[in-house]
Structures are given as structure tokens and as C-alpha cells.
Structure 1
């Protein structure tokens, strides 16, 4: 999937992946896509709730089980309004 910015949140535990995502989204233009990679299993529910509350859109969620520690990959489009 195409994205403009990538955030590596591997090794961080809640709430740090969400806080870093929020900061990264503040720095990208509306409509752009942020790729976030995290290893925190709780981030799946956290990012769903975060996007529902803020109006950003999760375009894709995937798991990379082949990594040394399971990774969760999100593509989030910044809200336009």
C-alpha cells in the first residue's frame, strides 16, 4: 500500500504507539497515509478506537508473524476535515 510517512513504534507499549501516531499525524497533510508498525498486540484495539474517536481512517491492518517479534502494521489516512 502507498504511504507518505512511516512510524516505527516497535517495542513500545500502550499508550506510546498511539501518542506517537497522534504526533506523526499532526505533521502530515490531510488525506495523506501514515504507515505504523508496532509489536504491541493491544495496538489493534487501541488504533481502532483512536481512529473512531478522531475521524482518521484505517485503510489496512496486517500482521507480520515472520518478524522476530510479531508485528502489527496499520495504514492510516489522516482525516480531511
Structure 2
């Protein structure tokens, strides 16, 4: 776990391909409180750019980190509003 933030919830979208990681991430962030961080676990390499682009263009969320390792891509999205 990253020392910079606490994870409020983990969303497992391994095996899902575009656009489902983004769709499910949006749905999961809707249920969070402001300040909460969602960890998203994905296997789709495209999720790195897809979730980054979604967060950059979406008010109320911020991509705080992404990690790649062992065929799993980890995304950390903070709900800001």
C-alpha cells in the first residue's frame, strides 16, 4: 500500500477490457465520500491511458498514482468532491 494515502475500497476489474475498467471505476467512485481513494486492479494494459484520460477529463476525481507489475495495473483514484 502506498504510504501517501489510505485505500477506502478496492475494485477488481481484472479480465475486463475497454471500456469496462473505466465504466466500473466511475460507478465505484460515485459511491465514495470526498477524499476517499479507490484502488483499481486491472489486467488490460490500455487501462493505464484510459483511466488517466477519464480522470483528467472528469470533475470530482483525481488520479493520484498508477503502478504496473506482474501483469496487474493498479490505479489509485481520489474522489475530490
Same fold flag (TM > 0.5) = yes
Gaps of 5+ in 2: none
Q: TM-score, normalised by structure 2?
A: 0.88
> Separation in 2 of the partners of 1:40 and 1:32?
24
Among 47, 54, 58, the residue aligned to 1:50 = 54
Report runs of 4+ in structure 1 exceeding 2 Å deviation.
none
**Structure 2 residue 63 is matched with structure 1 residue 73:** no
| Distance (Å, rounded) in 2 between the aligned partners of 1:32 and 1:49 | 20
| Structure-to-structure mapping, 1:18-29, within 5 angstroms | 18-29=22-33
Q: How many Å apart are 1:18 and its aligned residue?
A: 0.5
User: How far, CA to CA, are the matches of 2:21 and 2:51 in structure 1?
Assistant: 9
Q: RMSD between aligned alpha carbons?
A: 0.9
In 2, Cα distance between equivalents of 1:57 and 1:29: 13
Superposed displacement of residue 60, structure 1:
1.1
- Which runs of 5 or more structure 1 residues have no equivalent in the other structure? none
Q: How many residues align?
A: 76
